[in-house]
Structure 1
């Protein structure tokens, strides 16, 4: 039996979604973020030394990292329905998106979150204008242009097809869901990006996505 070590409001939600798409039985072990720090609880370190989510156990096998988990589950359980065959151009494109989502798209989104928190962090009154000014300057000069560059790129990629790998829904779309939902929550994804907005509407309407939300619980990235 697969166990998903599920942290609220985290990347592990898309692992639940993938398992619902696959129709594979699984169980959930839940963990809650610290309401003040928003960090994962130390109990997760008993599962994996980094103490982060997602992590799955499949029998005696433990695996972390979203892209690695998604590729493993798709290769083992999808019978080629959600991931292209190895050695094909489609598989190369799929693998690219599995790495791009975390390696390229998420870092500027994380920086946006950090500097937004710096702007509103409790600091001595005499330091607050300085901290707020620095955070605002970094966002305007570096973070926000980076976010726009990624949004423009992703919007253009969806100009080819309805999904990110050809005409069919795949694990690449599941992997990209988290950064795109983060872009919508705090990274500038708005009506100026109609293809990406339509993509989010399509994935949110999928029955497996809805079932994953019911099992995973509240899911907010704002």
Structure 2
């Protein structure tokens, strides 16, 4: 059985969500954040960088939530969370999946961090975030999810950043994204994961 190391209010919830979707059990080891909202020292004894999520499976230790999500769908032979391989939609999906952490997260955090500290979001950070949210708004097509009515890895991947933005009131100017986030929160795997491990984002 997979062991999942989960830090509270972190990307680890995305991994638990996928495991719930796949109906696969795990041994979950939870870690609370420090008063400074950092990962505890105990996680450094799991991974040299003190990262979460981390999974252990058959003697292998795997970090990076993106890698873990891909590992799990391959391990369990899941074909339901990605479009068929070799199709145009498959590569569109892979691009969106990687876009979340490679491009969107960095921009979003430039707005999230000052807002989290109770400060105004700098104009340039707000403008950059707006540009990316406009881009995402154009992706769902027929919706309500990124690839129609079927939940994909890219939807799970983007959920953590949207949770933070919503908690801090940074989706107000993008009602379509706010509605998309509402739909994500109605997904059975999300509900089960957050009931088990708590919300993705800390209370504001």
- Distance in 2 (alpha carbons) for counterparts of 1:117 and 1:187: 10
Alignment of 1:22-171 (within 5 A): 22-35=22-35, 37-116=36-115, 139-140=122-123, 142-171=124-153
Alignment match, 1:125: none
The secondary structure found in structure 2 opposite 1:157 is coil
Distance 2:142 2:174 in 1: 15
Give 1 or 2: higher helix fraction: 1
Shift of 1:117: 5.9
**Alpha-carbon separation, structure 2, partners of 1:71 and 1:86:** 13
Q: CA RMSD in A?
A: 2.1
- Give 1:94 deviation, angstroms: 1.8
Partner of 2:183, secondary structure, is helix
2:29 aligns to what SS in structure 1? strand
Cα deviations by residue, 1:63-120 (Å, 9 ceiling, x for unpaired): 1111111111112225311123433322212211221111111112222233346666
Alignment of 1:214 onto 2:195: yes
Indicate conservation of the 8 Å contact 1:108/1:146, yes or no. yes
CA deviations on 1:123-167 (whole Å, 9 max, x unpaired) are: xxxxxxxxxxxxx5x711x21101111111111212443222355
Q: Which residue of 1 aligns with 2:180?
A: 199
Question: Which structure has the larger Rg?
Answer: 1
- Check the 8 A contact 1:6/1:13 in 2, yes or no: yes
- 1:90 counterpart SS class: helix
Shift of 1:195: 2.5
Maintained 8 Å contact 1:97/1:175: no
User: Partners in 1 of 2:83 and 2:138 — Cα distance?
Assistant: 22
Normalising to structure 1: TM-score of the pair? 0.82
Q: Which residue pairs with 2:164 in the alignment?
A: 182
- Name the count of aligned residue pairs: 203
Measure, in 1, the Cα distance between the counterparts of 2:195 and 2:77.
22
Q: What residue is the counterpart of 1:132 in the other structure? A: none
Residue 191 of structure 2 aligns to a residue in which SS? helix
Q: Which residue of 2 aligns with 1:133?
A: none
Whether the 8 Å contact between 1:3 and 1:57 is mirrored in structure 2 is: yes
CA distance in 2, matches of 1:180, 1:170: 16
Unaligned runs of 5+ in 1: 121-135
